[in-house]
Structure 1
Amino acid sequence: MAVENADRLRWQELAHQALGDFLAAAMVEDLPSIAWTIASNGAMTGTVDALSFEPQEQRAAFDAWVSRLGAEPSERTDSAAVVHLYARFTWARNYLVGGAIRAELVPPMDAEGGV
């Protein structure tokens, strides 16, 4: 069965409603601002970027959103010592809406450009 455009738009509309709920809660609870995207299937991604936060602040922002959304975090470190944080969530008000929070914690470079 093919997915119709109307379905995709409905999923995006639900995600948009959820994002409004998330941002309203963030204002009240003083959660850090993060970048949000909504895919064509309605999946949401919250990204804690390195442009706005130092690595320890990124982790704190990630943890705050994970806690707020009741998500289960996971973590892995790659060969370049970058820590990848990821947590899937489902919106408490509607199980059809969900997504992930993510962050990449890049270690600082030394004077020679290495880790």
Structure 2
Amino acid sequence: MTISRSDYNRWQATAYRILGELIAEGRDNNLPPLTWTLAITGALTGQVPSLTAEECEQQRATFTAWATHLGAAVTETAREDGRISLHAPFSRQGERVGAVRAEIWPGNED
């Protein structure tokens, strides 16, 4: 099966609409903003900010709030460099459309 440009464009347009819904839901439910990325395949990634002065607990709370809102199962992975990777794939209308992620670095936990 060949994937055409119009397929990619359709996938991105659908994800763009869903992203608008997610941003509105975040606003309406007083969720902290995420950094969103839209891939050419239409996959959405919501990244919890890690380059700010947010404390580890705040990053976890932001991640958990979004994962809970989206009904997403959470995976937590301890990395060799000491950071903790949090990942929660989510679906809309039964179709997986993206994931929420967070990287919690050592030293942010003080």
Tell me the TM-score normalised to structure 2 length: 0.90
After TM superposition, which residue ranges in structure 1, 4 or more long, deviate above 6 angstroms?
none
State which structure, 1 or 2, has the greater radius of gyration over its C-alpha atoms: 1
Q: Secondary structure at the match of 1:17?
A: helix
> Which runs of no fewer than 5 residues in structure 1 stay unpaired?
110-115
How far apart are residue 51 of structure 1 and its match? 1.8
Equivalences for residues 17-36 of structure 1 within 5 A: 17-36=17-36
Q: Which residue of 1 aligns with 2:105?
A: 106
Identity over aligned pairs, percent: 37
Which segment is superposed worse, 47-56 or 64-73? 47-56
1:80 Cα deviation after fit = 2.1
Q: Distance in 2 between matches of 1:39 and 1:105?
A: 23
Which is further off, 100-109 or 55-64?
100-109
> Which sections of structure 2, spanning at least 5 residues, go unmatched?
none
Number of aligned positions between the proteins: 107
Could you tell me how far apart the structure 1 residues matched to 2:55 and 2:97 are? 27
1:67-97 per-position Cα deviation (integer Å, ceiling 9, x unaligned)? 11111110011122211000111124x62x5
TM-score of the superposition, structure 1-length normalised?
Answer: 0.87
Q: Which residue of 2 aligns with 1:112?
A: none
